[in-house]
Amino acid sequence: MRRAALVVLLSLSALAGAAPPEGRWTGQAQLPGRGLPLVVDLARDSSGAWSGSLTVPGLDIKGAGLAHIAVDGNEVAFDAGNAIGLASAGGATFKARIDGATMSGEMRQAGNAASFTLKRTGDAQVDAAARSTPVAASTQGRWVGQYEMAGYPRHVTIDIANDGAGMPKVDFVVVGKLTTKLPIDLVAEEEGILRIESHPYGITLEARVAKDRIEGTLEQGPVEVPILLRRQAEKTS
């Protein structure tokens, strides 16, 4: 009887000492030769469901959504998908232990592992995921052009068409040394500014749409270059 009571007391003590993961956590992962700044936000709603987002200032990643968030006492795990790095590198996963105001653990991606340590710095500020919107009728069609990155020209073809009330259908093809059709996560146009995002490849196009051209910038990670696309006239029979 006395032993059973001791087990219960120890269990209650462990539960009481489990630090909740809610909040904003700031720190860095230790990559070979450098530190990678990380900001993780974790929050739980009234139903007990978890949500979270990841910000990586050094990679221009802000508010990437977290998935598969699992909390067990002072252990937490979550998945950042392809927010960090290219799609070919595979998704990034995090596992950590919370001790008071410190979260420490391991980030894994493509078979590589990096330790990280974060400190609780305040309340969670989970960014709501941006939603795609239909584009203007005049933006639909085929656009062709090019940009240059790392000394090499890339030729671009973008086909845009509204698809009901959901995300517009976009075929975004880049031809350089290889031909790549980018997976598209976000398409939105507001006051003549078009934004197209490919999270797995870390590419964002933000440009102003005119009658015969789309002109702006293309970002890939920390690199930003100008891009000009012109409307391709429809072929007549």
* Res 40 pLDDT > 90: yes
Q: What is the pTM (predicted TM-score) of this model?
A: 0.57
Assigned CATH for 137-231? 2.40.128.20
Q: Would the CA dihedral through 201, 183, 224, 143 be positive or negative?
A: positive
Q: What is the model's pLDDT at position 124?
A: 93
* CA-based nearest residue to 112, from 91, 133, 140, 136: 91
Comparing 12-16, 91-95, 110-114, the range with the smallest average pLDDT is 12-16
Domain spans in the chain, listed from the N-terminal domain onward: 2-122, 137-231
**Taking the chain, what is the end-to-end CA distance rounded to the nearest angstrom?**
91
Q: What is the model's pLDDT at position 235?
A: 61
What whole-number percentage of the chain has pLDDT above 90? 54
Q: What is the model's pLDDT at position 185?
A: 84
Strand partners, 23: 42
Q: Which residue has the higher pLDDT, 131 or 96?
A: 96
* Res 12 pLDDT > 50: no
Q: What is the average pLDDT across 152-179? A: 91
* Res 162 pLDDT > 50: yes
Q: Which residue has the higher pLDDT, 84 or 103?
A: 103
Q: Residue 33: left if φ>0, alpha if ψ -120 to 50, beta else—which one? A: left
DSSP 222: T
2-122 topology per CATH = Lipocalin (2.40.128)
Between CA 113 and CA 100 the distance in angstroms is 24
Mean pLDDT of the chain: 85
Q: What is the model's pLDDT at position 11?
A: 41
Q: Would the CA dihedral through 88, 199, 222, 40 be positive or negative?
A: negative
Highest mean pLDDT among 4-13, 64-73, 140-149, 217-226: 140-149
Between CA 94 and CA 102 the distance in angstroms is 15
Q: What is residue 30's three-state secondary structure? A: strand
Beginning with the edge strand found earlier in the chain, give each strand of the sheet holding 186-190 in spatial order: 179-182, 169-175, 152-161, 141-149, 223-231, 213-220, 203-209, 193-198, 186-190
- Give residue 23's identity as a one-letter amino acid code: G
* CA-based nearest residue to 135, from 196, 183, 182, 184: 196
Q: What is the average pLDDT across 167-181? A: 93
Q: What is residue 88's three-state secondary structure? A: helix
* Res 177 pLDDT > 60: yes
Confidence of residue 128 (pLDDT cuts 50, 70, 90): low
Q: What is the model's pLDDT at position 98?
A: 96
Between CA 219 and CA 123 the distance in angstroms is 30
Q: What is the model's pLDDT at position 118?
A: 97
Q: What is the model's pLDDT at position 85?
A: 56
- Give residue 233's identity as a one-letter amino acid code: A
Between CA 103 and CA 229 the distance in angstroms is 46
pLDDT digits (tens, 9 = 90+) for 44-93: 988 888 999 998 887 767 888 888 999 999 999 999 876 675 444 457 89
The reply to whether 137-231 shares the fold of 2-122 is yes
